[in-house]
Structure 1
Amino acid sequence: MVDLKIWAQALDRMPKLSHAEWQQLDPVARWLIACRASVLFMTFTAAALGGLLAWRAGAFQLDLWLATVIGLVFAHATNNLLNDYTDSRRGIDRDNYYRNQYGVHVLEDGLMSGPDFWRYVGVTAGIALLLGGWLVVQRSGLTLDLMLAGAFFVLFYTWPLKYYGLGEPAVLLVWGPLMVGGTYYVLVGQWSWDVTWLSLVFALGPTTVIFGKHTDKLEADRAKGVHTLPVMIGERAARASIAAMLIAQYLLCVGLVIAGRFQWPLLLALGGLAMAPDLLRALRQPKPAAPPADYAADVWPLWFSAWAFRHTRRFTSFFLIGLILDTILA
């Protein structure tokens, strides 16, 4: 039976479910939970940003944009599924690893059989490939190159990139120039360096989240032999890196306005500063050994990533409002 409440929960967070509860779910709810749909909003936002900038350039086409945004969302979902498979197959997600503590892991929790899991992967990846192929036929040029670059990160982000300190730079590249700039290119037909710089403002948000997540599980990753960037540079430097990226988001916005690339409404992104002190305060100290009394139980053991996630949502909201107003004025 379709349960829209479960759909909403899966889109908002990663719920924990028993075997009996899983069996009651409809196929869409199972897909949303298996592919960690709560983080797909960042991909949708990246494609929406590229679409807005194309509209600003007078070249928005609804059919191309819909194909792009759906293709990107399904490509991201495919990556999440393959991420879980790869880490499960390599033994990383065993023994109550971080991934199992804050959300359902359909393979490690025994909720989905191998054949069922690969059917989900096949349908999800198939939709992404079909839409990507259609866009290549429609737009040609760099579209095939962008699609191949995206496929590379879908297939190889988990291994070897994440395992050797390249996962975090990959996130910055994918959610910035590749997704935002790529969406703009598909709609407009030409590359824009102004769009590329603006895309980095947005992409720094998801990068702080993944950097925070890898800092949260630094010791667990080190024990498992996963050499993420925080593992390589240490927790103190990792916390400083997150703070630097947060500050860079605001400085880039100010810089783009001063340079005359965008107008004053972009400065509305500074509204995110209201939540920045909380994140910066958390980053000044090592992760606590136990959650504070008022901390959400279903979020722990995530700490730095949870603070970064909340800030990113707030910053992105103000950033998009400012860009929309700037576009109207332009």
Structure 2
Amino acid sequence: MIPGWHDLLTKISRLETGDWQAMGWLKRWFVATRAAVFVMTLFSALIGIILAIPNAQFDGLNAVLVCLGLVLAHATNNLVNDWTDFKKGVDKDNYFRTQYGPQPLESGLLSERQLFGYIALTGGLAMMVGAVLIARTELQTLYWMLAGAFFVLFYTWPLKYVGLGEPAVWIVWGPLMVLASSLVVSGEYSTTAIWVSCLYGIGPTTVVFGKHIDKLTEDTAKGVRTLPVQLGERLSRASVLGLWLIQYVGVTVGVILGALHWAYLIIWLALPKFFDAWRRYRQPRPEVCPDDWPEQAWPLYLVHVAFLYNKGFSGLMFLGVVLSVVLPVVF
């Protein structure tokens, strides 16, 4: 069945070849780039943008451009990721990636030439947006853009293959995206933005941790030495729990020290979701789909738990960011 726009933006859709052929080119692009995960990028960009509002200068057009540019960069990374894994044979033989959604090349939905067309178009648009932002700001924007390009090109290989994929995700979705967004819309970033960026980046990092724990066995067999492969499942699950705790402690300490507005304490409303995620991460990953788990989501398990929890926590942190800017003005 051809997925609707809501499905394309909220989950990784499973497709038959006929469904793919019946879709328009825009929906195909959303499927191929795995658009459901763009929400993490938008949160990063919007957090940086909103934190820049109190600064002396604020450029609304740059705010729109940086959101667009970062989403296009994320999409390019996902396409490059699929091509790299395909060329290295990682996604062959019903590998984890092909079980939960279509890998464009492995599933036969796109040829290499067609995928390169997607990469060229998406990456080209990202660079065009970046060039406009450089022209509208300062040369410093170029340096941030080059740092982002490094991770787009080299995340899948070699970073992910040597256990540096998870730290790279923290850098990109935390300090890099948040601070760069603040910088291009106002010409500066605050101490608060630095604090928040370091804590927010933990969320996407735990999502990637969850994905790599889910496919730990497959990655080990394929020689993909992600951090969970090197740490083992038990220590990796404990690491995710520790990272989530750091977010709560970091926000609370920030409020106590005066680095963050008290409105950030709203993140504690995520505790019910946290306890559910904690319960699942305390147990070894099941080898078969649990009875209380949606069958259509399997084999996504720990990554799905982390994604849903992070979505709720990040939404509350985003609300805290908004309130921290609005409340001082209103009151």
TM-score, scaled to structure 1: 0.97
Task: Specify the code of the residue in structure 2 equivalent to 1:210.
Answer: V
- The question of whether the paired residues in 1 share the 8 Å contact of 2:192 and 2:260 is answered with no
Deviation at 1:58, TM superposition (A): 4.4
- The question of whether the paired residues in 2 share the 8 Å contact of 1:171 and 1:207 is answered with yes
Distance 1:4 1:304 in 2: 27
Distance 2:51 2:186 in 1: 9
Distance 2:11 2:56 in 1: 36
Task: Specify the code of the residue in structure 1 equivalent to 2:121.
Answer: V
Question: Which residue number corresponds to residue 30 of structure 1?
Answer: 28
Question: Which residue number corresponds to residue 229 of structure 2?
Answer: 231
Name which of 198, 201, 205 aligns with 2:199: 201
Question: Which residue number corresponds to residue 182 of structure 1?
Answer: 180
Mapping for residues 93-242 of structure 1, pairs under 5 Å: 93-242=91-240
Question: Which residue number corresponds to residue 312 of structure 2?
Answer: 314
State the Cα RMSD in Å: 1.4
Question: Which residue number corresponds to residue 275 of structure 1?
Answer: 273
Unpaired segments of 5 or more residues in structure 2? Answer: none
Deviation at 1:115, TM superposition (A): 2.0
Task: Specify the code of the residue in structure 1 equivalent to 2:65.
Answer: A
Question: Which residue number corresponds to residue 284 of structure 1?
Answer: 282
Q: Which runs of 4+ in 1 moved over 3 A?
A: none
Deviation at 1:191, TM superposition (A): 4.0
- The question of whether the paired residues in 2 share the 8 Å contact of 1:7 and 1:32 is answered with no
Question: Which residue number corresponds to residue 84 of structure 2?
Answer: 86
Task: Specify the code of the residue in structure 2 equivalent to 1:324.
Answer: V
- The question of whether the paired residues in 1 share the 8 Å contact of 2:2 and 2:15 is answered with no
- The question of whether the paired residues in 1 share the 8 Å contact of 2:252 and 2:265 is answered with yes
Distance 1:97 1:193 in 2: 43
Question: Which residue number corresponds to residue 291 of structure 2?
Answer: 293
Task: Specify the code of the residue in structure 1 equivalent to 2:259.
Answer: R
- Write the deviation string for residues 33-56 of structure 1: whole angstroms up to 9, x where unpaired: 000000011111111111100113
Distance 1:72 1:111 in 2: 26
- The question of whether the paired residues in 2 share the 8 Å contact of 1:67 and 1:135 is answered with yes
Name which of 243, 248, 256 aligns with 2:254: 256
Deviation at 1:141, TM superposition (A): 3.7
- Write the deviation string for residues 238-281 of structure 1: whole angstroms up to 9, x where unpaired: 01100001111111110111111222111001111110011111
- The question of whether the paired residues in 1 share the 8 Å contact of 2:73 and 2:126 is answered with yes
Task: Specify the code of the residue in structure 2 equivalent to 1:170.
Answer: A
Deviation at 1:5, TM superposition (A): 5.5
Distance 2:221 2:133 in 1: 43
Deviation at 1:322, TM superposition (A): 1.7
Task: Specify the code of the residue in structure 1 equivalent to 2:260.
Answer: F
Aligned pairs, number: 328
Moved more, 134-143 or 19-28: 134-143
Unpaired segments of 5 or more residues in structure 1? Answer: none
Question: Which residue number corresponds to residue 6 of structure 2?
Answer: 8
Moved more, 119-128 or 319-328: 319-328
Describe the shift of the 1:30–1:55 C-alpha distance in structure 2 as closer, same or farther (beyond 3 A).
same
Distance 1:245 1:297 in 2: 28
- The question of whether the paired residues in 1 share the 8 Å contact of 2:216 and 2:229 is answered with yes
Question: Which residue number corresponds to residue 15 of structure 2?
Answer: 17
Distance 1:183 1:323 in 2: 14
What is the DSSP-based 3-state SS (H/G/I as helix, E as strand, rest coil) of the residue aligned with 1:56?
coil
- Write the deviation string for residues 101-138 of structure 1: whole angstroms up to 9, x where unpaired: 11111100001122221111111001100010111111
TM-score, scaled to structure 2: 0.96
Distance 2:97 2:19 in 1: 20
Deviation at 1:4, TM superposition (A): 9.7
Describe the shift of the 1:264–1:167 C-alpha distance in structure 2 as closer, same or farther (beyond 3 A).
same
What is the DSSP-based 3-state SS (H/G/I as helix, E as strand, rest coil) of the residue aligned with 2:57?
coil
Distance 1:226 1:5 in 2: 32
Q: Which has the higher contact order (CA 8 A, sep 6+)?
A: 2
Deviation at 1:193, TM superposition (A): 3.4
- Write the deviation string for residues 58-112 of structure 1: whole angstroms up to 9, x where unpaired: 4321110111110000000000000000000100010011100111111000011
Describe the shift of the 1:52–1:237 C-alpha distance in structure 2 as closer, same or farther (beyond 3 A).
same
- The question of whether the paired residues in 1 share the 8 Å contact of 2:155 and 2:165 is answered with yes
Distance 1:294 1:285 in 2: 14
Question: Which residue number corresponds to residue 244 of structure 2?
Answer: 246
